[in-house]
Amino acid sequence: MKKISVVIPAHNEEGNISLIYQRIKTVFSQLEDYYFEIIFVNDGSRDRTQLILEELATNHSEIKFIEFSRNFGHQPAVKAGMDFADGNAVISMDADLQHPPELIPEMIRKWEEGFDVVLTSRKYPKEISYFKKKTSEIFYRFLSRISDVDLKKGGGSDFRLMDASVVEVFKKFNEDDLFLRGLTSWMGFRQASVNFLAGERNAGESSYNIKKMMKFAFTGITAFSVKPLYLAAYLGFMFSVLSVVGYGIYVIESFVSGTEISGWASLIMTIVFFGGLQLIILGIFGIYLGKIFKQVKERPNYIIRSKNL
Ligand code: UDP
Ligand code: MG
């Protein structure tokens, strides 16, 4: 019998935990050669999530949990679950049932075919907001272009299966800014993908708002690419060439027409424009500097308050 560890981060998911457990249990009852454990990672929930987990864990031996000391975020929660998982394969999925457990047999089949990582590609049903669909599509296309990681369209979901050997590699990572989707793609191995239809979340509210999504996007870009840093060099070069050409034109023009060109308005605008540009570039430098600052302190990605493994 092979063991499958299912890692589920949970932030205020009191309405979903029992249900997702039931659904996963049903799925595995139809799989003969596999048994499972679920590692719930309570990421600083302020509802009854912890109580429910403790109760479930006492009654069902396949349920384990890790309780964080506070909210550390979705990515550290998934990492924590993987750190403590010891299955032959590890599956990570959301608690809100937007990732259908019924897809697990297909993922396992791919894994048995010899793939080390089985990604899932989310196809959106019509009800999901156009805004969310579009923003995520644009983001992943942009990220694939700007960095060296290829995140296939729609492939940006944290629902995936990883072979134990891949999880071993993950365990050694101690990056401060975790972006697991990017890391998975960056790592290589043999990867396959299966499709699923993303539904609405079952109960509770999404913990991702615009602000968190923006932060996630910034993390994704700056954790995987130093291309923004080159921006300064490119722009500097471009404007230098432009200024030399412009300077030549003005000199010739003043000789030809015999008048000096006046215009302090354009002068002010130019100064403001370059002031802004310099601040933007300084900001980009600052972001990377901040990342180095955070990384050198080597603080852990998460702190565990209690666990039942
Ligand atoms: N989550 C978490 N910590 C957070 C935010 C979210 O562990 O700070 C979990 C959440 O419980 C869920 C998954 O991450 O299992 C995805 O979150 P959510 O459904 O809110 O995101 P969305 O599906 O809206 O992108
Ligand atoms: Mg969700």
pLDDT at 154: 46
Closest CA to 156 of 74, 256, 261, 72: 74
pLDDT at 309: 86
- With a cut of 70, list the residues of the chain below it in pLDDT: 124-128, 148, 150-156, 199-200, 207-208, 260-261
* DSSP for 26-48, written as a single string: HHHHT-SSEEEEEEEEE-S-SST
> Ramachandran region of residue 113, left (φ > 0), alpha (ψ -120 to 50) or beta?
alpha
ipTM for the predicted complex comes to: 0.95
pLDDT at 127: 64
pLDDT at 136: 74
pLDDT at 17: 93
Give yes or no for a contact between 76 and 177, defined as CB atoms under 8 angstroms apart.
no
pLDDT at 30: 92
Whole-prediction pTM value? 0.79
Pocket, ligand 1, Cβ cutoff 6 A: 9-11, 13, 43, 71, 73-74, 77, 94-96, 98, 201, 206-208
pLDDT at 118: 92
**Ligand 1 probe mutation, 72, 207, 215, most atoms within 8 A of CB:** 207
Counting ligands in written order, which one lies closest to the CA of residue 11?
A: 1
* DSSP for the chain, written as a single string: -EEEEEEEEESS-TTTHHHHHHHHHHHHHT-SSEEEEEEEEE-S-SSTHHHHHHHHHHH-TTEEEEEESS---HHHHHHHHHHH--SSEEEE--TTSSS-GGGHHHHHHHHHTT-SEEEEEEEPPTTS-HHHHHHHHHHHHHHHHHSS----TT---S-EEEEHHHHHHHHH---SS--HHHHHHHH-S-EEEEEEE----SSS--S--HHHHHHHHHHHHHHH--HHHHHHHHHHHHHHHHHHHHHHHHHHHHHHH--PPP-HHHHHHHHHHHHHHHHHHHHHHHHHHHHHHHHHTT--S--EEEEE-
Cβ atoms within 10 A of the Cβ of 127, count?
A: 8
Which residue's alpha carbon is at the smallest distance from atom 18 of ligand 1?
206
Which residues lie at CB < 5 A from ion ligand 2?
96, 98, 201
**Alpha-carbon span 213 to 190, nearest angstrom:** 29
pLDDT at 126: 63
Give yes or no for a contact between 146 and 113, defined as CB atoms under 8 angstroms apart.
no
